Structure 1
C-alpha cells in the first residue's frame, strides 16, 4: 500500500459529522477524542458497501467475529484464544460494565490507576461501585506497592473487588511488560481481585516494544480481557467488542450470552479489518511512528517547556505542561488562545493536573500546525506577562 492514509486536509475532515469534528467551532483544530483522521481500509469499505447492497442490516451473530479475532490474536501475538471463552459485546466499555456487574456487587470497590482513561472512573460509579485510585510511578509504569495497598483496602471487609487494567496504557502510551503483568497477576490472585484488561489499543505498539496479552501470563485463570478493532481501524461508530475469559471464566461469560449486543455493521467491519487489514495496519503504524517523532522533535525545538515521553503505544501523547504554569487544566488555555482542542488532563485523575492529551492520528501538516499554534499561544502569553 503506497498511498498515505493519514493525509486528509482540514477541508475534507470538516465534512465529517462525528463528535471530533462537530464539538468545536470551525476555527478550532480538534486533537482530543480518539478518532483518527484516516482513510479507512479499502477492504472494510468494500465489505460495508456489500452489506448495504444486500440489505444485510439485521442482528449480529458471533462466529465470524470470534474466528476473525482468534486468528488475529494468534497471528500478531501468538495468543491461542479458546473460542468457547469469548463473548460478543456491544463495545469495550459496555463489555467492561457487563463484567463488573457479574464479578462485583453494588458497593464493592473497583481499582483504577491514576492517571487513566476517564470512563474507567465513570462506568463503575454508574453501576454503584466505589472507585479506588492507584497512582502510576513517576515514569508512568504500574506501581505494584501502590496497587497492593489498593487491593488490600478494596478487599479488607471481605467484599469482592476488581481492577481495570489499561493495556497498553491510555493516556501515557506505556506498554506493560511480561514481568509487570506477571507480578500483577500474582498480586490479584493473592487478594482475590478480578483483573479486567482493556486491550483495545493492543495492535498499536511501536517496535521494539511488544504487547503481551494479560491472559497469557500465569495465574490469570479468573481474569478477563476486552478487545475491539474500533481504535486500531478507526471504527468507533461501528459497535462491536470481544470479551475473553481466563480458563475459569466460562461461568461468568455464559451469564452474558443474552446481554446487550453489538451491531451487525460493527461485526462486519471489524471482522473484515482483523482478517484483511494487516497491510493497512502496517502502513498506519509507520505513519504514526513518524508523527510521534515529529511531535517530540518539534516540541523539543520550539516549546521545550512542555515535557513529553515518546509513547510506546497508541496514537495519544501525554503532554506535561506544568512548567508553563497554566493552572490545573492547560487544555482550557490552549482552546482559548491557540484554538486547539486537547483532552483535559484532570479528567484522567488527580495526576492529570497540568497535563493535556494530544491525538496524533492526523496528517503531518495538521500536526505541525497544532504544535505551531501551541507554541505561538505560549510565546504571546509570555510577551504580555
Structure 2
C-alpha cells in the first residue's frame, strides 16, 4: 500500500508532489497505476504524482463546458512556446518555423522522414529513452550508437566516429539528441552542444533534439535549447509541455526548425498536425502561458527529492552509485555493486514490490542499472528505498 500523504493542507497546496494521497492516486487509470498490482509502488514510467496545474484544469474545464472539443486551429500553442522559451531560456523560436505534431516521439518520426530515407542511419547516445530505438527501427532506419562516457556526458570522440560510420558512402543520417538526457538527467552545456553542431555540420548529419524535459531543469543547471547554439541552423527540436505539466495523455507537441531547416519542415504533410488533440493544444498552451508558478513549485519539490534520494541511498543502500540528475525528474541508479545481475529492477519488483525502469531497456550501458521516478512525495520515495534495501 502507499504510505500516507505528506500534506493536504497549506504545505500540500504549495508542493504539488505532496498534494495527493494514496486514495486519489489509486483512482487513476493511466499506465503508471494500472500496470502493476496495488501492493507495488510504481516509480517506473514518466508520470508525476501531482494534480493538474490550476490554469490547465481551468482551461480544460472551460473548453468542455463550451463543447469546444473539435479540431485544433491556429498558432496559439507555438506562440505560447515561444513566449515561454524567451522567458526561461532567452531564446524565441520563430512561430513560422514551427509545425504542430501529435506528440514528441511521433513528431521525431515525421522529422526523420523529412531528412532520411529507409535504411539510413540515426545516431543515438545510449543509455537512452527506449522509444528512440523502437520508433527508429519501426521507421526502417538503422541505429548507430554513440554511447555516453563514464561521466554520463556526451563523448564527442565517440560521436564523431558514429557520424563517420553513419554517413559512409554519402548517405544521409540524423542524430537523435536527448536534451536533457533521459535516463541520466544530464543537462548538456552550450559548449557541448556547439561541438555537436560543429560535428553535425562537418559530416552532414541532421540533429533532431528531443527537448521534452527542457522545462524540468532547476537552479544549478541551465537548459540550452539546441537551436540557440552556434552552427545548429540545420537542426530541429521537438518540444511540448507534456513532461513538465504531466500532460502525456493530452496529445500535442511542436516541431521547431532551425533557420536553414525551415524549408524541410515546410514539407511536412498538413495531415500530421491533425493527429494532435484539440484539448491537448488547449492544455499545453495554458501550461506554457500561465503555469509558471506551478512549475516552479514542482522544481522546488524535485530539488528536495534529489537531495532526499541521495541521503536515503547513503543510509540504506550505500552499494548503489548515484549522480543526482541535473534535469528531468528521473534518477539513474548504478546497482552493479549489489550483485543483482543485469536487471536489478526485476529484483526490486519481485522482492521489494517497487517498480523501476529496467536498465537493459535503455540499451548499451544500461545493464546493472535502474531508473527511478522522483516525481512523487517524500514519503513514497522513502518507502521505496526502504523496500529496495529490504530486497537485497
Q: Do these two structures clear the TM 0.5 threshold for a shared fold by scoring above it?
A: yes
- Pick the TM interval, shorter chain: over 0.9
Deviation of 1:218 after TM superposition, in Å, equals: 1.1
1:94-109 aligned within 5 A: 94-109=106-121
Deviation of 1:310 after TM superposition, in Å, equals: 0.8
Report the equivalent of 2:209: 197
What's the CA shift string for 1:137-182, capped at 9, x where partnerless? 1010000000000000000111100000000000000000011000
Counterparts of 1:154 and 1:181 in 2: how far apart (Å)? Answer: 19
- Runs ≥4 residues deviating over 3 A: none
Are 1:347 and 2:358 an aligned pair?
A: no
Q: Secondary structure at the match of 2:117?
A: coil
Counterparts of 2:72 and 2:251 in 1: how far apart (Å)? Answer: 11
Counterparts of 1:222 and 1:102 in 2: how far apart (Å)? Answer: 12
**Higher mean C-alpha displacement, 246-255 vs 346-355:** 246-255
Report the equivalent of 2:3: none
Deviation of 1:302 after TM superposition, in Å, equals: 1.2
What's the CA shift string for 1:64-96, capped at 9, x where partnerless? 111111100101001021111011110000000
Counterparts of 1:138 and 1:109 in 2: how far apart (Å)? Answer: 24
Deviation of 1:240 after TM superposition, in Å, equals: 0.5
Counterparts of 1:348 and 1:142 in 2: how far apart (Å)? Answer: 16
The 8 Å contact of residues 115 and 171 in structure 1, kept in 2 or not, is answered as: yes
Report the equivalent of 1:179: 191
Q: Specify which of 81, 84, 87 is matched with residue 75 of structure 1.
A: 87
TM-score for the superposition, normalised by structure 2 = 0.95
Deviation of 1:39 after TM superposition, in Å, equals: 1.5
1:287-302 aligned within 5 A: 287-302=301-316
Are 1:239 and 2:282 an aligned pair?
A: no
The 8 Å contact of residues 9 and 366 in structure 1, kept in 2 or not, is answered as: no
Report the equivalent of 2:159: 147
The 8 Å contact of residues 62 and 88 in structure 1, kept in 2 or not, is answered as: no
Deviation of 1:10 after TM superposition, in Å, equals: 2.1
Report the equivalent of 1:6: 17
What's the CA shift string for 1:30-79, capped at 9, x where partnerless? 00000000011111111100000111111101411111111001010010
Number of residue pairs aligned between Structure 1 and Structure 2: 378
Deviation of 1:257 after TM superposition, in Å, equals: 4.5
The 8 Å contact of residues 49 and 377 in structure 2, kept in 1 or not, is answered as: yes
Q: Which structure 2 segments of 5+ residues have no match?
A: 1-9
1:202-351 aligned within 5 A: 202-261=214-273, 262-351=276-365
Q: Specify which of 78, 87, 104 is matched with residue 66 of structure 1.
A: 78
The 8 Å contact of residues 224 and 246 in structure 1, kept in 2 or not, is answered as: yes
Q: Specify which of 343, 358, 379 is matched with residue 365 of structure 1.
A: 379
What's the CA shift string for 1:107-146, capped at 9, x where partnerless? 0000001100011111111110000111111010000000
